[in-house]
Amino acid sequence: RLGILRGQMKTIHDSANNQYTLAINYGGVKRVRSMLGIDLMTPYEGNPLIGGEKPVDMIAIVDVIYLLVKDDADRHGLTDEQWAAVMGPQQMDAAATAFYSEWTDFFLSLNRPDAATVIQKQLEIMRQAVLEATRRLEAIDPGKIVAAGFGSTSNVSAESSAATVNG
């Protein structure tokens, strides 16, 4: 069980507080495939929105979401580049979360729990990867790295240090 509520309309907002309705339907799937060559009907290995061997393509996510909200963006008079420019980091993070949720709901409505599970597992992998990367980066001691780069200072005499400084 994925614990996803189906049928709720997803809305996202840009940094100017313009509202966009995010919905995945066959029209949007066709638009994305036609414009970007990304097939939303196959959320498996090789799809740039899923990752796998390669990292998730964040710009592809931006482009896909834009195409799914294009009618609203057109009403706000925004091109794809203008829309991306008004989507701040927090707004884009919320939009990506809404997109993956909507994508999952789309497959559940098609009675395709396999595809919905792939999306949910990829989201969990991304969350775990961020936590692990953060844990490893926080464990880095810059002082130890710098000291190792200079080698051990215990065998350097005061005279050689002074001679090096004085030149």
Q: Which of 115, 84, 120 is nearest to 101 (CA)?
A: 120
pLDDT value at position 9?
75
Distance (Å, whole) CA 40 – CA 60 = 12
Highest mean pLDDT (candidates 91-105, 118-132, 140-154): 91-105
User: What is the pLDDT at residue 56?
Assistant: 79
Given this model, what pLDDT does residue 4 score?
Answer: 41
Reported as a pLDDT band with limits 50, 70 and 90, residue 3 is: very low
pTM of the prediction? 0.77
Residue whose entry in the numeric block shows the structure tokens 């994305």: 32
pLDDT of residue 1 exceeding 60:
no
Distance (Å, rounded) from C-alpha 67 to C-alpha 35? 8
By the 10 Å C-beta count (0-12 exposed, 13-18 middle, 19+ buried), 126 is classed as middle
37 is written with which tokens?
A: 């060559």
Helices (H), the chain: 26-36, 58-68, 70-75, 80-86, 89-109, 113-138, 142-150, 158-166
Phi, psi of 21 (to 5 degrees): -95, 120
Instruction: Please write the tens of the pLDDT for every residue from 22-64.
Output: 999 999 999 999 999 999 999 987 777 876 666 778 899 999 9
Length of the chain (residues): 167
What rounded mean pLDDT belongs to the chain?
A: 85
**Spatial distance between the Cα atoms of 167 and 157, rounded to a whole number of angstroms:** 15
Band (pLDDT 50/70/90 cuts) for residue 2 is very low
